[in-house]
Amino acid sequence: MKKERHVLVVFPHPDDEAFGVSGTIATHIKSGTPVTYACLTLGEMGRNMGNPPFTNRENLPKIRKKELQEAAHVLGIQDLRMLGYRDKTVEFEDEEKLSNHLLSIIHEVNPSLIITFYPGYAVHPDHDATGAGVVRAVSKLAPDARPTLHCVAFSNNCVEELGEADIIHDISPVIDKKLAAIKAHRSQTEFTFKDMAEKLKNQDPQVMARVQFERFWTYKW
């Protein structure tokens, strides 16, 4: 994994970082690279509130905020930004205001690498809108001043239309941190984590491959 000056991670929801990029984040931090995580919302519209319910709609954002903070602590992220947008409405934000907000963070932290969703290939409207906002923000920079943009994609057509991911990280040396980050988002991952942990214990090849390897597409301008 290339040594970076500073890594900026931009996702819309708490736990977006956990499954797909937490091993990459932990590896960068382990190598001494500072990481800033800008999380747009608190996932307050998440549907998973337990059965029987463990909380209600009013208290869910408080729970998810604490879970996000715990996951950041587990990974070693010291610069966590909660940007205050509302869950499931990112696609309706003023595009110019959103991109300028993200650009202000880019100017401040001066990352050599940004990690976000690939717009159009990330399934959820908030995912796509966040990735598009990052792309617009970076496009405002001169071409020779733009950080590298690594994008997460997982739509059914992503490989067909984008080709295979050009960046694949084996994060097995920090897999314990990745699992701890997933577990930290317990309101959303508790049942999934139990099943995953059991399959990892039994060396299930499909689960091992999904957890051990993190894939990215370098955004082409």
Amino acid letter, 85? Y
pLDDT the model gives residue 96: 98
The pLDDT, as a whole number, for residue 87 is 95
pLDDT tens by residue, the chain, 221 residues: 999 999 999 999 999 999 899 999 999 999 999 999 999 999 988 666 554 455 666 788 899 999 999 999 999 999 999 999 999 999 999 999 999 999 999 999 999 999 999 999 999 999 999 999 999 999 999 999 999 999 999 999 999 999 999 999 999 999 999 999 999 998 888 777 777 777 777 878 888 788 899 999 999 99
Question: CA distances (Å), 21 to each of 51, 174, 200, in order?
Answer: 29, 12, 18
The residue whose two tokens read 């990481």 is 35
d(CA 109, CA 111) in angstroms, rounded, equals 6
Q: pTM here? A: 0.94
**Res 200: pLDDT:** 74
Cα angle 50, 179, 159; round to 5: 90
Q: What is the pLDDT of residue 116?
A: 98
Q: How far is CA 74 from the centre of its chain?
A: 15
CB 105 within 8 A of CB 36: yes
Domain 7-218 has CATH 3.50.50.60: no
Residue 56: per-residue pLDDT: 62
Nearest-5° Cα angle at 129, 124 to 134? 130
pLDDT of residue 49: 52
Match 């590896």 to its residue by tokens: 27
